[in-house]
Structure 1
Amino acid sequence: MLVLLVFQGALAQESPSKDLRGKVLANGEDVTGVVVRNATSKRATITDAEGNFTIPVKVNDTLVFLAVQFKTKKLPVTRLIYNTSFVNVPLEPFVNELQEVVVQPFDLTGDLSKDAEKLELPQDVSAEALGLPNARQKIPTQSERKLQQATYGKFHLGMILTPPLDPIINAISGRTKMLKERVAVDRKYAQTQRVQQSIVDSLFIDTLKIPKERIADFMYFCEADPNFDGVVNSGDQLRVWQFMIDKSEAYRENNGLE
Structure 2
Amino acid sequence: MKNNITLLIIFLFFAQFLSAQAGLEKWVKGQIMSEAIPLEGINIINTSSKINSISDQYGNFSIVAKEGDVLSFSAADYESLRKIINKQEFKLGSIVVNMTATSVELKEVIINGNSEISAENLGIIPRGQIKLTPAERKVYTATSTPTDALLNYFSGRTKMLKKEVELEKKEVLRAKLEYLFEDKYYIETLKIPEELIKGFQYYCVEDAGFASSLQSKNKTMSMFLIVGLASNYNQKRVYGK
TM-score (norm 1): 0.40
Higher Cα Rg, which structure? 1
TM-score (norm 2): 0.42
